[in-house]
Structure 1
Amino acid sequence: MYRDGKLEWELGPFIKADEINPILLPEAEASFICPVRNCEVNWEEKDLFNPTAIVREGEVHLLYRAEDRVGKYEGTSRIGHAVSRDGLQFKKEREPVLYPEQDSFHTLEWEGGCEDPRIVEDSNGTYYMMYTAYDGIKARLCVATSVNLTSWSKHGLAFGQELDGKYADIWSKSGAIVTKRVGEKFIAERIDGLYWMYWGESNIYAATSLDLIHWTPVEAEDPRGYHAEPFLLPLLSIRKHHFDSDLIEPGPQAIIMEQGILLIYNSKNHGQHGDPNYTTGAYCAAQVLFDLKDPSVVIARSTKPFLMPDREYEINGQINHVCFVEGLVYHEGTWLLYYGTADSKIAVARCEG
């Protein structure tokens, strides 16, 4: 059933803050000494996008992806940090807080970089960042932790050790951990003793963990017998003739709600097999509801997107027609949704209450 233009279980409606959007732009003069190149690099000269968000001590913190113009990929990615009291006007740190270094993770991150973070907090106040390490060939989901959001410790591959390393080298990204909102905090929440995370691209999968660092992908037995061994269980897949016909990918942290586990996800519209009401290749955001008793079971799914590119800064950029959501906070009675626009800038949408 629809109410106010949305399904009753969906979060929203979200209204784009047109009076201030886009809220963050790349700065060509921002520079630091890259420890890999061993020289000064303008680390957000090219583009700035895809932020995660969290509230700490009454302030909204954004951790965002920024690209330089150096190297064979013309854009190594690093994670920057910005802070705001009202969640709308942000002040950036001059240097990135997470980036490729001459460390044991160098081969995973160079020279594509560190991309597309998602962040949650545990009950002890430690922050966990799921981010994509990209070596230029393959994307791999990695984990970092912090107690202050500026100094981060890398822990490497999310799927590196579990199941004898079976999934250590697969293409993996976009880890949205299941949380419970406590005031303005989103605390990672165990379900039957395990933390849960939604992840993937084109299909959305799940993984479980005891410590928020080491993750085990959820597998299934194949009832048809096509797979001799257990295989990754897709929980959500693309839909022909829909807005999410070419790609789906988790957005911000998943949230335990009264009706179930709510996950905002990003999607891409296919040209030939998509929805003609949306531009070919358009990235839109939608929502899905999972069963709290069994987080691998889908209860309901959006029939249409709630956020789509229709502003100039969302339509034109590094990648045209993109609204890509990765950050969600609840601050001073308002939901604030942060998203990358055309892989070039950052914008915000608001939902009261």
Structure 2
Amino acid sequence: MTTTSLFGDARFPLGPFTPYENNPILRPKGDSWESSNLYNPAALVVDDQVVLLYRAHAEDIVSHVGIAFSDDGYHFERENAPILSPEHDYERFGCEDPRIAYIEGTYYLTYTGWDRRSAQLCLATSPDLRTWTKHGPLFEDFDTFKTMDPRGFNWSKAGVIVPQQIDGKWWMYFGEGGIYWATSDDLIHWTPGTSDEEPMYSPTPGTWDEALVEIGTSPVLTDDGLLLMLTNGATRRYLKDGTREVDYRCGQIVIDPANPTTVLARLQEPWLRPQTFEDTHGLVSNVTFVEGLVKFRGTWFAYYGQSDTTLAVAVADPGATYGTDLRADG
């Protein structure tokens, strides 16, 4: 079996990406556990297939993680039963928003355990994507909104593991609100590098991600050795009736492994934003939310949720570049 989770031959910024004309590629179906909403997938390549691990739920909004396979990156066959479901108190109302890394024969799945009060970053491991061992919440007494909008209790959703060691340690980037880092000796027990009052990356005031930033996809390796990750960011608008409306868009950051606690650069404008009907209408409207990125048969595939309701993909040709080549003759 061949599994790939660290993709290379990338440039910053990655893209441009074009949403697939036949999105959504997966929708809710039937009257089962995935009958109401299906979104926010992790992605990797296994044996020359794209594998998605996606979040879905019925009307009860209790999320499970399902699995789907594709030979072309666009058309997926899903299995009927979820591969990960709530079992414990900390996740009793949902196993949400998976990200995945494959390291030395083991799949490491980070996900959000939701108890309708606290969203906690959890870890599960598997040798085969079917049998999972849950290791529980990773960070106690950590609030990734601490410097912005403190929750006052554990809140640490969203985490991606770098599938290669840096300076003899395993690294993870995590957080919603602000982005933080953690290290591990064994990939199971993780220690934050700072307190929750010291994010390594925070929202940029006056921009499209001024309300929050959240880690999106596992990293890719650029041509010059930097780690590039797709991110999510949001603004919030308050309407005349006092209600709040969100707008989630997708960005990019790049990190130097020689200085892995610092973001070197960010894409100043989002590479993806809500545009289509599915992007702007759903359980949580106005959301494009990326969690899966693979390079498959020479093309970049970025998988994202649409308004917490359907699942879509945007693609990029590695040979394409942003902007106009001003060096052309004439």
TM-score where L is the length of structure 1: 0.79
Match of 1:87 among 73, 84, 92: 73
Show the 5 A alignment for 1:163-312: 167=142, 170-178=154-162, 188-219=163-194, 232-257=197-222, 258=224, 260-271=226-237, 281-312=246-277
Measured against aligned partners, the alpha-carbon deviations of 1:9-54 in whole angstroms (never above 9, x if no partner) come to 2111111111x2100000133xxxxxxxxxxxx2111100000001
Q: From 112, 124, 129, give the equivalent of 1:149.
A: 129
Number of equivalences: 293
Counterpart amino acid of residue 308 in structure 1? R
Offset, 1:199: 0.7
Q: 1:167 Cα deviation (Å)?
A: 4.4
Query: Are the equivalent residues in 1 in contact too, given 2:44–2:293 (CA < 8 A)?
Result: yes
Q: 1:304 to 1:158 in 2, by over 3 A?
A: same
Q: Please give the alpha-carbon distance, in whole angstroms, between the structure 2 residues aligned to 1:199 and 1:238.
A: 14
Task: Give the RMSD, CA atoms, in angstroms.
Answer: 1.8
CA contact (8 A) 1:218 1:232 kept: no
| Partner residue, 2:308 | 343
Change (3 A) 1:207 1:53: same
Structure 1 alignment gaps of length 5 or more: 1-7, 30-41, 160-164, 179-187, 220-229, 273-278
TM-score normalised over the length of structure 2: 0.85
Q: Which residue of 1 aligns with 2:325?
A: none
Deviates more, 1:167-176 or 1:253-262: 167-176
Aligned to 2:27: 25
1:114 matched to 2:98: no
Q: Distance in 1 between matches of 2:196 and 2:113?
A: 23
Question: 1:61–1:83: 8 Å Cα contact kept in structure 2?
Answer: yes
Identify the structure with bigger relative contact order (alpha carbons < 8 Å, sequence gap 6+): 2
Deviations 1:208-230 (A, max 9, x none): 111222111111xxxxxxxxxx6
Secondary structure of the 2:259 match is coil
- String of CA shifts for 1:115-141, please: whole Å, max 9, x gaps: 00000110x221100001111110111
1:232-268, CA deviations, whole angstroms, 9 ceiling, x for partnerless residues?
A: 5201111221000111100010223225221211011
Separation in structure 2 between the aligned mates of residue 237 and residue 347 of structure 1, nearest angstrom: 27
Shift of 1:291: 2.0
Q: Percent identity?
A: 42
For the structure 1 residues 127 and 304, does the alpha-carbon distance in structure 2 shift closer, same or farther, using more than 3 Å as the test?
A: same
8 Å contact kept, 1:218–1:233: no
Q: Give the drift of 1:304.
A: 0.6
Which residue pairs with 2:40 in the alignment?
Answer: 50
Q: Would the aligned equivalents of 1:285 and 1:325 in 2 still touch at CA under 8 Å? A: yes
Contact conserved, 2:200 with 2:263, CA < 8 A, in 1?
yes
Separation in structure 2 between the aligned mates of residue 167 and residue 250 of structure 1, nearest angstrom: 16
SS at match of 1:314: helix
Amino acid at match of 1:153: T
For 1:67 and 1:157, locate their aligned partners in 2 and report how far apart those are by CA, in whole Å.
Answer: 21
**Residue 89 of structure 2 aligns to a residue in which SS?**
helix
Tell me the equivalent position of 1:35: none
Shift in alpha-carbon separation, 1:92–1:231, aligned structure 2, 3 A: closer
Q: 2:66 is aligned with what amino acid? A: G
Task: Say whether the 8 Å CA contact 1:47–1:68 is kept in structure 2.
Answer: yes
